[in-house]
Chains A and B, each alone.
Chain A
Amino acid sequence: MAFTFAAFCYMLALLLTAALIFFAIWHIIAFDELKTDYKNPIDQCNTLNPTIEKVKKIKRVKIALKLVLPEYLIHFFFCVMFLCAAEWLTLFLNLPLLAYHVWRYTSRPVMSCPGLYDPTTIMNADILAYCQKEGWCKLAFYLLSFFYYLYGMIYVLVSS
């Protein structure tokens, strides 16, 4: 019973996954709202996409990270942590999602800012359905991994 780095990773991942679950739920709600007509897609994409605020005259681009990017970064972050902690199984389980995130980001439609969603195409039924499905799948994945991390954490704590 010792507090190893691996145990720390699991604890951190546990907390962060809780945040990711929140993000996923938020994502689902956002698209549902869009589908049922409560929000204008421009507003929606602005909140879903990280927005770039240009501060006048100062050539400083401040990236206000909003939702999608933080999610990807968080996930990437604890994948790296698991790599460092040599938790190969856990890392292996997370790799598909990591790969998906990379693919998703490289094939994003918007060009001048780090967003994923294009307000002009998002209302297309296919894309909308895809985004909703994506949200549900991620929610399921994060929920499962939440319990897996919980189990992993206890296992590490107990076994060492």
Chain B
Amino acid sequence: MSAPGRTNLRGSVGYSQNSTPNGGAAPPCQNGPLQTYPPMYPPTGYYGAPPHHQGYPGVSAPGKAPVTNSANYYQSNQQHHVAPSSYSAGPPPQPYATVPSSAPPPPPPHAQYSQQPFQQPPYAPPGSYYAQQPYQVSPAQLHQQPGLVAAPASGPGAPIYPSAPGSGHYGTTRTTTAPEATQMGAPLHHYSAAPPPPTAALHPGYEAAAQMTVNGKGCAAGVQNSSHQHYDQSHPAPRSYNSYSGGGADRPASGTLSASAHSSPGRHQGTPFGFAADSGASSASAAASGPAGALTSSSSDDDDEDEDEEAGGDSSSSSTGSASPVPNNYDSLEGGSYPDSMPPSNDMTNQAQPYSNYGYQGMPPAYQQGPAQPTDAPPSQNLYGPSGYQPYSQPFPSLSQLSAALGGLSGVPELEVEALRPVNLLQERNLLPPRPLEAPEPDISSDLKKVNCSPQTFRCTLTSMPQTQALLNKARLPLGLLLHPFRDLQLPVITSNTIVRCRSCRTYINPFVTFLDQRRWKCNLCYRVNDVPDEFMYNPVTRSYGEPHKRPEVQNSTVEFIASSDYMLRPPQPAVYLFVLDVSHNAVEAGYLKRFCDSLLENLDKIPGDTRTRVGFLTFDSTVHFYNLTEGLSQPQMLVVSDIDDVFIPSHDSLMVNLKESRELVKELLTSLPAMFSQSRETHSALGPALQAAFKLMSPTGGRVSVFQTQLPTLGAGKLQSREDPNQRSSAKGVQHLGPATDFYKKLALDCSGQQIGVDLFLLSSQYADLASLACIAKYSAGSVFYYPSFHHVHNPAQMEKFRRDLERYLTRKIGFEAVMRIRCTKGLSIHTFHGNFFVRSTDLLSLANVNPDSAFAVQMSIDDSLADSSLACFQAALLYTSSKGKRRIRVHTLCLPVVSQLSDVFAGADVQAITCLLANMAIDRSISCSLSDARDAVVNAAVDFASAYRSSVSNLQQSGLVVPAVMRLFPLYVLALLKQKALRTGTSTRLDERVFAMCEFKTQPLPQLMRMLHPDLYRLDNMSDQGALHLNDAVVPQPRLLHLSAETLSRDGAFLMDCGSVFYLWIGKGCGETFIRDVLGCPSYASVPSNMSHIPELQTPLSERVRAFLDWLQDNRAFSSTFHVVKDDSSAKAAFLQHLVEDRTESASSYHDFLQHVHQQMSK
């Protein structure tokens, strides 16, 4: 009943359209109701009005849910007088004094409302926003949840909301203190402490509300298990979200209510998902499971649930901290999200920081002050922005006070000086930093720095954006972005009915927007002024109303939204996997099939998916074989199609089967498959027809096709001829055939991409297989390529091991389906070219049939218009995908960079690693479209041009020689390393397939991995000290110095570790100390070290422990585990190690010093 009242108020206030931040995309229903009164009632009906409720059960459409939320906001409004917002001005009884009288005559409920304004319970808003992931929920809590929800079961599904009782609920809560008290969530208790919660209060609140999603790796440990359970239970789609309910936990009627800052009923936010769940959950059991699986864990007690029967499934699931004091809550959360068992990865800890701190420490000073001056009108959100934004903040009185807190707007001059220190490369030899380079930080205010996107996800080659294209041209540096959008990380997941976006450019709201006042925000990309929707006014983190700038979307530059049906073209697809296996004689010889089947059997339970997951198998030699795995068959049925000119699908619904239902048959097939073809004499390979069959099989759903191929396709469509001339492998002239021989694979890939099918290619070939043509199938369907040259299960155990590890990661890694990624940038900037595996569907839109956490993208940018009128340039990458659980999600990353007008600033902000990687991508494009030598020249010219540009820009330079700014001092070295890569080298014998594969890697590997491939890290291991060591958990991880990649640094009496990204080499000198060999390798002497050693034994000596700790630490930072080789000084494997010493002269390439001389000469020309 109270609900109607609130809604009215809202309408009168004029918030009207705000609730539809999405603009066009927003569900129409949202707009409607809010703007006009009559429509508004429906929402009320939702909550309170009995008449309407009937409608709801049927309403599973997410789009409609928003309405309900809006009502919530109202409730929270009531508290404003207490809350630190400007709205507080209103007298308690009529907090909405400002509310125009136009408010429709309050229905009965309204009256009620007015009578008891104070008691208006702050609904426990909890986690609803944060769809907080189940991941965090500790097992104990999980147990509770089912219980909680049991209550709802009694009033199944929909009835819960609509029911009059529900509305009554609110009313009653106010009047009856007792129930309210019980209902209140723990976090609320915290608040009840009274006056607007200072930081401490907020902190916990956030914690409780905001749970971290643990993706990928992070999931390991117990947490993962629990999450799996959730998914399984909740799975039938949306249901899981009910948890929102957060609960209608009301707060105690005690006087403290007034003091409380917020609360809106979490249950309202039940959102579409919540509703769907309700309707779906007709049975008690279903209802119970729903909540348990619910992603949200909000804070409320079990009691709540019992009390709020009406709230039912919606009501919030209990959260981690329900009854515990806040501090504990925090701890437990943190503990939950970072289980001890998790490997001490540097990566993870870094990432964890920002979010865990989130609540307070992370908060910009401006915000912290805000609460202190509640009466001062809108707290400082304006200030949030850097100086550039200040003009907008002028109107606000608090500006002057807060400006002091901004500090550091001008950046850190000393750092800049250091970055620009001229370095004469011809004289200074020791350029390597002691530890691997970190990404430079953009020179923006410290507040913005804190919220800026992690460089591991989003990196720009120039961390200071030149104002104009002319300035960029002067700097002679490539401008571009390096993106790793889907990497495994923990990020806040937000569930909100309205995803707030700019109306004109569709940018998602992000930390770099400016709030002009409480009601409007200015887009940081197109500068349009947008309305803040009502729902957004309520902050689930602090549970306060009127602080949109504190919402998680505005506090995190990396967030994930649970998308509504507006973001779906069709119902989210299930996870569908098809394995296409080569079973020709060649494949049987190589022996990969056994390994593959074993791996798949081991990981069958870990394949991402839910109960809808489907799998299929298809094998081929000169014919194509299908497998009928329909549940109920006694054994798998093989169907052979020999008409490869016109492949057809023999049976339509039995070839792709539900993994859960047909698990036994799948297992049986995998067990018998290796033996089935062991006698095969068929040498031909009909890959093309098999792919066509796969396409036909997958077209209706989309999904992932994994192709395993061991030789050149020789039959049917897409057959290829050998194009490699072994005599030309080391030719210094050009390299031919880097492009595809036929466009069959490209066209097929485009068709696949159109049907949301991603194709991953595993090439396990001992001979030339024309990867240049085959790779197209993965390249344009957003797949990935794996290549194992000279693969043989007996003769090449190292490759076998690598294959096994890669497969394990491949099968179990996260996957996103039917994805698109759009990259938006500040007006004036535009995207020039994309690099990576995808199909470019529009100037800024990539179509990714599949997206995996290991592929990265590069983007070249150009500056169309001057950026002079803004001080910040922003980039936003939004990845919309369907998770393996069938949820539509949007992951948004936003990067903010300062705009500079001075050339020296541009140089100071250069990111040498990013520049090198982008350059590598450009060079590879060039080598395919023009020629390899062209590409090599272009790369060298890039170094020459840059050095010349720097010299001419610094007029007062006294030094002669090759001078570059310190920040770019490694650039020539990296360029040289690039020229010596397999992809671009000439003169050294390189097989065409390996070269093409190296090119593919350059296009898709994330930056850290690419840099390790390009310029491996070399460490000396035999004399590691604990100086500067990291202490992770209880392990000490030594941090040895980086060494130059030159034979000079190797010494006979040492042991050196080279980290090449996908492989580690441990080089043992002839005179290496006995202790090291004995303690680490477990061999008595140098001579007895086996030449093919590929692991380090687990010895209990301190030295061994340290070496292993270091290796493990290195390993934890990468997705695919690397292989390990011990290389003895006199072994034949030495060449593989030595080729990575890029500073040395080789028979066909110059040394670093010679290269510098060459560059120097070119400059003076």
Residues of A within 8 A of B (CB): 35, 37, 40-42, 56, 110-112, 119-120, 123-126, 128
Give chain B residues whose Cβ lies under 8 Å from the Cβ of A128.
843
Kindly state the separation between the CA atoms of A41 and B841 in the bound complex, as whole angstroms: 6
A-B contact pairs, 30 of them (CB 8 A): A37-B845, A40-B841, A40-B842, A41-B840, A41-B841, A41-B842, A42-B750, A42-B754, A56-B646, A110-B743, A111-B742, A111-B743, A112-B743, A112-B744, A112-B747, A119-B750, A119-B839, A120-B750, A120-B780, A120-B839, A120-B840, A123-B834, A123-B840, A123-B842, A123-B843, A124-B832, A125-B832, A125-B833, A125-B843, A125-B862
Instruction: Output the nearest chain A residue to B779 by Cβ-Cβ distance.
Output: A120
Give chain B residues whose Cβ lies under 8 Å from the Cβ of A120.
746, 750, 780, 839-840
Within 8 A of A (CB), among B822-867: 830-834, 839-843, 845, 862
A134 to chain B, nearest CB (A): 18
Q: Is the CB of A37 within 8 A of B747?
A: no
Q: A112-B744, A123-B834 are in contact. List 17 more A-B contacts (CB 8 A).
A: A37-B842, A37-B845, A40-B841, A40-B842, A41-B841, A110-B743, A119-B750, A119-B839, A120-B746, A120-B750, A120-B780, A120-B840, A123-B842, A123-B843, A124-B832, A125-B833, A125-B843
Q: Which of A56, A111, A120, A128 has the most CB of B within 10 A?
A: A120
Give chain B residues whose Cβ lies under 8 Å from the Cβ of A56.
646
Top 4 A-B pairs ranked by shortest CB distance?
Answer: A123-B840, A125-B832, A37-B842, A111-B743
Instruction: Output the nearest chain B residue to A122 by Cβ-Cβ distance.
Output: B840
Give chain B residues whose Cβ lies under 8 Å from the Cβ of A42.
750, 754
Kindly state the separation between the CA atoms of A58 and B390 in the bound complex, as whole angstroms: 72
Give chain B residues whose Cβ lies under 8 Å from the Cβ of A124.
832-833, 840
Give chain A residues whose Cβ lies under 8 Å from the Cβ of B746.
120
B324 to chain A, nearest CB (A): 52
B425 to chain A, nearest CB (A): 32
A38 to chain B, nearest CB (A): 9
Kindly state the separation between the CA atoms of A56 and B743 in the bound complex, as whole angstroms: 20
Given A35-B843, A111-B743, decide whether A126 and B832 contact each other with a Cβ distance below 8 A: yes
Q: Is the CB of B742 within 8 A of A112?
A: yes
Give chain A residues whose Cβ lies under 8 Å from the Cβ of B840.
41, 120, 123-124
Given A42-B750, A119-B750, A120-B750, decide whether A126 and B833 contact each other with a Cβ distance below 8 A: yes
Kindly state the separation between the CA atoms of A35 and B844 in the bound complex, as whole angstroms: 10
Q: Which of B742, B780, B842, B845 has the most CB of A within 10 A?
A: B842
Q: Which of A40, A41, A111, A125 contacts B831 (CB 8 A)?
A: A125
Kindly state the separation between the CA atoms of A56 and B648 in the bound complex, as whole angstroms: 13
Kindly state the separation between the CA atoms of A124 and B862 in the bound complex, as whole angstroms: 12
Give chain A residues whose Cβ lies under 8 Å from the Cβ of B830.
125
Kindly state the separation between the CA atoms of A1 and B969 in the bound complex, as whole angstroms: 79
A75 to chain B, nearest CB (A): 26
Instruction: Output the nearest chain B residue to A112 by Cβ-Cβ distance.
Output: B743
Within 8 A of A (CB), among B733-782: 742-744, 746-747, 750, 754, 780
Kindly state the separation between the CA atoms of A37 and B841 in the bound complex, as whole angstroms: 8
Give chain A residues whose Cβ lies under 8 Å from the Cβ of B862.
125
A21 to chain B, nearest CB (A): 27
Give chain A residues whose Cβ lies under 8 Å from the Cβ of B842.
37, 40-41, 123
Give chain A residues whose Cβ lies under 8 Å from the Cβ of B832.
124-126
Give chain B residues whose Cβ lies under 8 Å from the Cβ of A126.
832-833
Kindly state the separation between the CA atoms of A123 and B860 in the bound complex, as whole angstroms: 13
Kindly state the separation between the CA atoms of A2 and B370 in the bound complex, as whole angstroms: 92
Given A110-B743, A124-B833, A125-B833, decide whether A37 and B843 contact each other with a Cβ distance below 8 A: yes
Within 8 A of A (CB), among B702-751: 742-744, 746-747, 750
Give chain B residues whose Cβ lies under 8 Å from the Cβ of A119.
750, 839
Instruction: Output the nearest chain B residue to A42 by Cβ-Cβ distance.
Output: B750
A53 to chain B, nearest CB (A): 14
Within 8 A of A (CB), among B164-198: none
Q: Which of A42, A111, A123 has the most CB of B within 10 A?
A: A123
Give chain A residues whose Cβ lies under 8 Å from the Cβ of B742.
111-112
Give chain B residues whose Cβ lies under 8 Å from the Cβ of A35.
843
A59 to chain B, nearest CB (A): 11
Kindly state the separation between the CA atoms of A119 and B746 in the bound complex, as whole angstroms: 10
Give chain A residues whose Cβ lies under 8 Å from the Cβ of B834.
123
Give chain A residues whose Cβ lies under 8 Å from the Cβ of B750.
42, 119-120
Kindly state the separation between the CA atoms of A18 and B834 in the bound complex, as whole angstroms: 38
Kindly state the separation between the CA atoms of A111 and B744 in the bound complex, as whole angstroms: 9
B412 to chain A, nearest CB (A): 35
B1008 to chain A, nearest CB (A): 27
Give chain B residues whose Cβ lies under 8 Å from the Cβ of A125.
830-833, 843, 862
A126 to chain B, nearest CB (A): 7
Instruction: Output the nearest chain A residue to B645 by Cβ-Cβ distance.
Output: A57
Q: Which of B746, B780, B831 has the most CB of A within 10 A?
A: B746
Instruction: Output the nearest chain A residue to B751 by Cβ-Cβ distance.
Output: A42
B505 to chain A, nearest CB (A): 12
A123 to chain B, nearest CB (A): 4
Kindly state the separation between the CA atoms of A5 and B631 in the bound complex, as whole angstroms: 78
Kindly state the separation between the CA atoms of A120 and B835 in the bound complex, as whole angstroms: 11
Instruction: Output the nearest chain A residue to B861 by Cβ-Cβ distance.
Output: A125
Give chain B residues whose Cβ lies under 8 Å from the Cβ of A123.
834, 840-843
Kindly state the separation between the CA atoms of A125 and B860 in the bound complex, as whole angstroms: 10
Kindly state the separation between the CA atoms of A126 and B843 in the bound complex, as whole angstroms: 11
Kindly state the separation between the CA atoms of A126 and B845 in the bound complex, as whole angstroms: 17
A136 to chain B, nearest CB (A): 18
Give chain A residues whose Cβ lies under 8 Å from the Cβ of B831.
125
Give chain B residues whose Cβ lies under 8 Å from the Cβ of A40.
841-842
B820 to chain A, nearest CB (A): 12
Kindly state the separation between the CA atoms of A112 and B833 in the bound complex, as whole angstroms: 25
Instruction: Output the nearest chain B residue to A111 by Cβ-Cβ distance.
Output: B743
Kindly state the separation between the CA atoms of A40 and B834 in the bound complex, as whole angstroms: 16
Instruction: Output the nearest chain A residue to B833 by Cβ-Cβ distance.
Output: A124
Kindly state the separation between the CA atoms of A126 and B743 in the bound complex, as whole angstroms: 22
Give chain B residues whose Cβ lies under 8 Å from the Cβ of A41.
840-842
Kindly state the separation between the CA atoms of A86 and B743 in the bound complex, as whole angstroms: 43
B929 to chain A, nearest CB (A): 8
Instruction: Output the nearest chain A residue to B844 by Cβ-Cβ distance.
Output: A37
Kindly state the separation between the CA atoms of A123 and B859 in the bound complex, as whole angstroms: 12
Kindly state the separation between the CA atoms of A105 and B840 in the bound complex, as whole angstroms: 24
Within 8 A of A (CB), among B595-622: none
Q: Which of A35, A112, A128 has the most CB of B within 10 A?
A: A112
Give chain A residues whose Cβ lies under 8 Å from the Cβ of B839.
119-120
